[in-house]
Structure 1
C-alpha cells in the first residue's frame, strides 16, 4: 500500500537516500528541507509521477516557521526524522546558540511536528515513526557532548512513545548509525578516518543507503512486530 511519508532532513545524505527509496517504491514523500532546495529538487528523478514529491521548506530553528508548516501540513501515514548536524569541541566552550540549535533540529521541533500529526496517524493503517539517531546517543562521545545528549533524547523518546502508541497500532523505532560517509564526516583527515576504521570490526564507514535500508525496513510491514526498538547499524562498532 502506497503511503505518504514526511521526511525531516530530506536534503542530508541519509534523508536523501530514504526519500529516493520511498519514491522508487511508489510512496509520496513530503520532503522537508531548509536551504538545500536544489538537492530536494533532484529527488524528482526518482518519482514515478510529478505529484509524488512535495517539497517543504521549513527552518527547524524558527518556531514560527514550524508553526506555519504544522498548520498547512498534509497528514502523513509515516514520519522519518533524518535531519541534523553535529558540533565538536569541549562542552564548556559550546555557545547557547549552538546548544539551542542542536536541541531544536534533532528533537524539540520534530517532537512538536509529531504531536500535531499523531492524532491523524491513528486513523492510518501501518502508521510508523522512525528516528535516525546515532551510536553516540547510545554510548556518548567526548567532544560531542550535546550532540550525544540530543541523540540520547531521541532514543528515550522512541522507547517511551513506542509504548504509548502501540495500542493505536503506531510503531515508533530508531536507527542508530555508526560512522557513515556523509557531510558530517567529510571533514575528517585521512589519518583520523583510518583510525576510526581500525576500530570498526567491518573495517570501513557505512554508506547512507545502508542506513536508509534499515529505515525502510522499520517503516515496512516486514517489521510489524518491532516497536520501541533501536536498530544499530554500525559495522559491529560499539556492540
Structure 2
C-alpha cells in the first residue's frame, strides 16, 4: 500500500511549492487547508497532473481538537509529515488577547505535537517516518513585536530536537526548517521601504523563494538525509 505525505497549510506559498515537488517525485499526497478551499482545489488539480493520488483534508488547527479532526480524515497510512501551519502576530506582547494567544499556541505548537503523536504509532511500527516542522528564524533568535510567535517557534524547535532523540532508533527522522524572510503573500503588509530595509540587512541582498524552502524540505524527507536528525536547518541568506 502506498504511503502518503501529509502537508499542512498546503495552500500557502511554501506548502504549495512543497506539494508540487513531492507530486513531481510521485508521492501520494494529503493536502490540508483551512479557509483557502479554492486554492487547495487548484493545487490538488496541479498535483494530479503528475498522476499521483491527491486528497484534500480540512481542519482549523488554531482550535483545540484541530489535530484530531484532521487525523480522522486520513484514510491511508502517512509516513511523511510536513507541518507548515502558521501566521505571524505583530504587536506588543502586553496587547495580545488571551484567546488569540491560545489560538497561536494551538496553530504553531500544540496541534503540531498532537498531530505528530497520532501519526507516530504507525511510523514506529513500520520503522520509517519523516517529520519536518516549518519553524522560523525567530524561533532561534527571538524578535521584539513577535514575542508569542518567537516563543512558540522556539518550542517547536525544542520539540523537534527532543523527539528525534526518542524516535531515531525506530527509523524516524525529525527535523525543522527555519526560514528567514521568504517572498510570500505574508509580506504584503509591509511597505516598499520596509521591505527594502529588510533586504539591506540580509547578506544575500534578497528575500528567499518558496521554491528554495521546498528544495530544503524535499532534501530532509529524502534518503539522502537519513543521518540528519534533530536538526533545525536555517534558510536565510546568511541573515
Q: In the alignment, is the contact (CA less than 8 A) between 1:24 and 1:47 conserved in 2?
A: no
Determine the structure 2 residue equivalent to 1:15.
15
Determine the structure 2 residue equivalent to 1:231.
233
Determine the structure 2 residue equivalent to 1:90.
92
Matched residue SS, 2:188: coil
Q: 1:143-184 deviations in whole A, cap 9, x for unaligned?
A: 000010111011000000011000101000001000011122
**Mapping 1:181-192, distance limit 5 Å:** 181-192=183-194
Q: Unaligned stretches of 5+ in structure 1?
A: none
Matched residue SS, 1:123: helix
Is 2:170 the counterpart of 1:153? no
TM-score, normalized by length of structure 1?
0.94
TM-score, normalized by length of structure 2?
0.94
Is 2:46 the counterpart of 1:45? yes
**Mapping 1:47-196, distance limit 5 Å:** 47-48=48-49, 52-74=53-75, 75-124=77-126, 126-196=128-198
Q: 1:110-135 deviations in whole A, cap 9, x for unaligned?
A: 21111111000123354100001000
Deviating runs (4+, > 4 A) in structure 1? 48-51
Q: In the alignment, is the contact (CA less than 8 A) between 1:166 and 1:227 conserved in 2?
A: yes
Q: Distance in 2 between matches of 1:111 and 1:226?
A: 20
Determine the structure 1 residue equivalent to 2:24.
24
Q: Unaligned stretches of 5+ in structure 2?
A: none
CA apart distance, 1:6: 0.7
What's the C-alpha RMSD, in Å, of the aligned pairs? Answer: 1.7
